[in-house]
Amino acid sequence: MKRPTSIRLGRPRIRRPSTRRGAAILVAAVIAGVAVLSVAGFVLASGTVSLYERYGFRPEANAQAWADLTPAYADASACQQCHAAEHTEWVESKHIGVECETCHGPLGAHASTTPPVPARAVDATGKICTVCHEQVLGRPAAQPQVDLATHYGGFPCFQCHTVHSTVIVARPPTIPHPLTRLPACTTCHAPGGLKPVPGGHVQSEDAVCLSCHFREPKVGAPPEERVTP
Amino acid sequence: MTVSRRRLLGSGLAAFAGLLGARSIALGAPATARAAAPGGAGTGVAPADAAPAGYVPSDHRWGMVVDTVSCIGCGRCVEACKLENHVPMDPEYNRTWVELHVIAQDGSVIVAAPDGGIDGYSAEAVAALGLSESIRQAYFVPRLCMQCDNSPCTSICPVGATFRTEDGVVLVDDERCIGCGFCVVACPYGARYIVPAGGEMPNGYPGVADKCTFCYHRTTRGLLPACAEVCPVEARIFGDLKDESSPVSAVLRDRRTQVMKPEAGTKPRVYYLGLEAEVG
């Protein structure tokens, strides 16, 4: 019967160069390796590819990259060049503090291309007005704002207001006849009635009609304007 | 098997040369990706409207005062920021947003920012918050990166990808960033996010950290940041803290301002007017 091969336990012995010649070759190899790495590093740093430049800590280069981006928003002076009339209206209006692009969106591309790329269409329903002028919790009292439930509800803002000059161009007509001892408004003003209301109106309670068509008369107004509900 | 010294040295050199080659090929890839991504920072494509060469960062020190007394919560700044900087339109990702802070009579504070405030605060949106408490005070608070002098995000970044410029803006080197998200959690103001893939990307890469740059491409050209440009009530006062005649210096001189979370020791360069102590 064969005896099993003996297994050597413990730490394997480290081979050391047994001769002076071996030691010399090892030192030479280390020096050669360092030299090769130095040359490679020099090539990388100064040559066609620079790892440090691209991936290293490089705040100046990256800051410049952010600075080189193209602005999307221009400013009002760019708009003035073609839209002088609107610009003049705007300069004299209460909206002077509101930039063109606040409502019209970014216009940098529109202003710098020929023919200009179309500007964003402004929402004609008046949402662009209400984002600033709807009465909302938290909105400062100094900001002009309206309760949409009672302020000429249902009509687009542009029906009565101009935006660039911020003036009221049209108000709903006030009621030219006395309002006392009369039946409901819809008695005469319903569709098919004596004097029907224009299309777009809904049949409502008197109070709803009066919310738009009745205004407190100014002090000293002529008697015909002094109507009382 | 034994390996001769000569063969070992030989294969080692070959492996080293191979590594160099692989690195060179890898270097070409990001440059191509960059060129294909419009609006990416660091793109190799020269922009049509290059930044002025005469800009000296050390001459400036940018800062902002946010006026919560004037803010009307219209959200134009949030929209402008997204459109100017290619920030994802998803309301989860914002460089700036507008919060509604409500303080009840009992002193409890409710902070809400539906969709980051991008659509403006409407009566309907506020009603949807279901505020039933008796309200003492309510006001809007625009939020953004505080561009801290002592910024936790730059301290924690393990690869040195985020840094402060000489003109006082904290930027993220998107080619250096590894997307670990440490900065996102280190920021006491929640001002950072990781760019999601498949949509607008401010810097051309998904998976890297992004944050407000004070619109660095605008300020270095002498323009206002987009948020300050479109604000209809001048609630964002931006300017050079080194210039005593700038609007921001005037406000800091004439009004009593404060910073958010001063106890964090971050030394913000975004100041606030009219912030209550309860919130921040």
Q: What is the residue range of A191's domain?
A: 173-229
Q: pTM score, two decimals?
A: 0.74
Judge contact between B149 and B170, C-beta under 8 A.
no
In chain A, the number of structural domains is 2
Calculate how close chain B gets to A24, using CA atoms only, in Å. 13
Asked, for residue A195, whether it belongs to a domain, the answer is yes
- pLDDT in the model for residue A11: 62
Find the mean pLDDT for residues A104-133: 89
Asked, for residue A221, whether it belongs to a domain, the answer is yes
Interface of B with A in 182-211 (CB under 8 A): none
Which of A6-20, A51-65, A108-122, A164-178 has the weakest average pLDDT? Answer: A6-20
Residue of A nearest to B171 (CA): A63
Task: Give, for all 280 residues of chain B, the pLDDT tens digit.
Answer: 444 545 544 454 444 444 444 433 333 333 333 333 333 343 333 344 555 678 999 999 999 999 999 999 999 999 999 999 999 999 999 999 999 999 999 888 999 999 999 999 999 999 999 887 799 999 999 999 999 999 999 999 999 999 999 999 999 999 899 999 999 999 999 999 999 998 899 988 899 999 999 999 999 999 999 999 999 999 999 999 999 999 999 999 999 999 999 999 999 999 999 998 765 5
Q: Of A35, A61, A87, which one is at a domain's C-terminal end?
A: A61
- pLDDT in the model for residue B185: 97
**Among the residues of A113-185, which ranges form H helices?**
127-133
Q: How far is the CA of B220 from the CAs of A147, B51, B82, B192, B225, in angstroms? A: 42, 7, 19, 22, 10
A56 CB contacts (<8 Å, ≥6 apart)?
B176
- pLDDT in the model for residue B42: 37
A217 burial level (CB within 10 Å; 0-12, 13-18, 19+): middle
Asked, for residue A95, whether it belongs to a domain, the answer is no
Q: Of A7, A41, A61, which one is at a domain's C-terminal end?
A: A61
Residues of A in contact with B101 (CB under 8 A): 138
Asked, for residue A220, whether it belongs to a domain, the answer is yes
Asked, for residue A212, whether it belongs to a domain, the answer is yes
Find the mean pLDDT for residues A92-110: 92
Asked, for residue A193, whether it belongs to a domain, the answer is yes
Interface of B with A in 237-276 (CB under 8 A): none
Which one of B39, B57, B123 has the shortest CB-CB distance to A148?
Answer: B123
B199 CB contacts (<8 Å, ≥6 apart)?
B88, B89, B90
The packing angle between helices A20-46 and B5-36, to 10°, is 10
Inter-chain CB proximity A62 and B175 less than 8 Å: yes
Residue of A nearest to B46 (CA): A68
Judge contact between B77 and B95, C-beta under 8 A.
no
Does ipTM surpass 0.95 in this model? no
Asked, for residue A167, whether it belongs to a domain, the answer is no
CA distance B238 to B266: 20
Q: Is the per-residue pLDDT at A83 higher than 90?
A: yes
Structure tokens at B3: 């390996």
Asked, for residue A16, whether it belongs to a domain, the answer is no
Q: Of A8, A42, A61, which one is at a domain's C-terminal end?
A: A61
Judge contact between A131 and B123, C-beta under 8 A.
no
- pLDDT in the model for residue A127: 87
